């Protein structure tokens, strides 16, 4: 496969960094250096894995530096890569860390794109919302868009402040969906369904409903109503879930709490 993605420096080789790297390799990656103190096994011949910034091969010139470290490690990690400011665009997927805060660590000449992907990136079904900071060129934005499209859909916003609620909704969203599957499974067992069947039912119901939603152009509320026969079993269940103090209020409270925490992480 001919390379379509230029050399990339990946800082952080966790689950999301690994998912991104796998997506880039599928699309044709020229070369990459991944920096992680755990030094995992190299995922391919075009990827060099090093323990720290000092071990980056001399002369390696990345087009983008992807910051995939934990936000609480940013203060210690980011200054090590300031030497790439001015030549590479920094693509950050760190929750909560603002572009202004990152420029203090990387230098005022750093061009930064801040993005929030989610874990379905592992199967190339993620959603990432991104915003470009001052000085980011059209070419750099296009490169970041290409890097993010390798793991799913991409949307762009002008207001960086929207990244905090994005983090709450889609960044954390998979956890909320997994919790639903978890609770469906538990409730099925409580009603006497064997555990293996309860798990199969819960997982396939969530996965199948997601696939139906993705394939449909109708509003989610329309799809919900299509399942809800008047005076039927689903209507009875939804009457409980949609009480004033139940799902409508709890989801709003949960998203507000996660949004607040994202802002707290900025320091």
- 14-54 pLDDT per residue, tens: 889 999 999 999 999 999 999 988 866 667 778 899 999 99
User: Is residue 97 within 8 Å of residue 265, measured between CB atoms?
Assistant: yes
Whether residue 24 lies inside any domain: the answer is yes
Question: Is 130 in the same domain as 188?
Answer: no
pLDDT at residue 3 greater than cutoff 70? no
Per-residue pLDDT, averaged over 232-245, amounts to 95
Mean pLDDT to the nearest integer, 141-146: 98
Reported pTM: 0.91
- The residue out of 158, 182, 210 marking a domain boundary is 158
Which of the residue ranges 46-50, 165-169, 192-196, 224-228 would you say has the lowest mean pLDDT? 46-50
pLDDT at 248 (0 to 100): 94
Question: Of 158, 190, 222, which residue sits at a domain end?
Answer: 158
pLDDT of 267 higher than 90: no
Same domain, 151 and 188: no
Q: How many helices (H) and strands (E) does the chain have?
A: 10, 8
Nearest CA to 84 out of 111, 104, 50, 102 is that of 111
**Confidence check: pLDDT of 1 > 80:** no
266 pLDDT more than 80: no
Is the domain of 108 the same as that of 238?
no
For residues 114 and 218, membership in a common domain is answered with no
pLDDT of residue 39: 65
State the pLDDT at residue 46: 81
- Reading the block at residue 164, the tokens are 């905090």
Share of the chain above pLDDT 90, in %: 88
- Could you tell me if 154 and 224 lie in one domain? no
Total count of domains within the chain: 2
| Percent helix, percent strand, percent coil in the chain, to nearest 5 | 55, 15, 30
What is the rounded average pLDDT for all residues in the chain?
94
Q: Give me the mean pLDDT over the 74-85 stretch.
A: 95
Q: 114 and 177: one domain?
A: no
Give the tens place of pLDDT for each residue, 147-167. 999 999 999 999 999 999 999
Domain span at 189: 173-264
More confident residue, 174 or 96: 174
Burial 46-74 (b: 16+ CB within 10 A, else e): bbebbeebeebeeeeebbbbbbbbebeeb
- CATH number for the domain harbouring residue 229: 1.10.3730.10
């Amino acid at each position: 496969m001919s390379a379509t993605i230029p050399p990339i420096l990946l800082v952080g080789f966790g689950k999301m960094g690994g998912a991104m790297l796998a997506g880039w390799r599928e699309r044709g990656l020229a070369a990459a250096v991944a920096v992680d103190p755990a030094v995992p096994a190299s995922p391919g011949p075009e990827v060099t894995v090093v323990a720290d910034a000092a071990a980056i091969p001399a002369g390696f010139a990345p087009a983008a530096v992807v910051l995939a470290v934990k936000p609480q490690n940013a203060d210690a990690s980011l200054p090590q890569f300031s030497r790439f400011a001015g030549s590479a665009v920094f693509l950050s997927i760190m929750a909560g860390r603002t572009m202004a805060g990152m420029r203090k660590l990387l230098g005022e000449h750093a061009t930064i794109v801040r993005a929030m992907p989610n874990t379905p990136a592992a199967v190339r079904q993620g959603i990432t919302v991104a915003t470009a900071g001052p000085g980011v060129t059209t070419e750099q934005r296009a490169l970041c868009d290409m890097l993010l499209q390798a793991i799913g859909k991409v949307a762009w916003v002008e207001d960086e402040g929207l990244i905090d609620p994005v983090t709450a909704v889609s960044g954390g969203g998979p956890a909320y969906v997994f919790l639903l599957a978890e609770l469906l499974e538990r409730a099925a067992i409580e009603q006497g369904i064997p555990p293996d069947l309860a798990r199969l039912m819960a997982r396939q119901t969530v996965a199948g409903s997601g696939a139906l939603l993705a394939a449909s152009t109708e509003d989610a509320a329309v799809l919900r109503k299509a399942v809800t026969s008047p005076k039927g079993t689903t209507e009875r269940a939804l009457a409980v879930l949609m009480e004033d103090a139940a799902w409508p209020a709890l989801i709003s409270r949960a998203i507000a709490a996660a949004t607040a925490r994202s802002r707290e992480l900025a320091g």
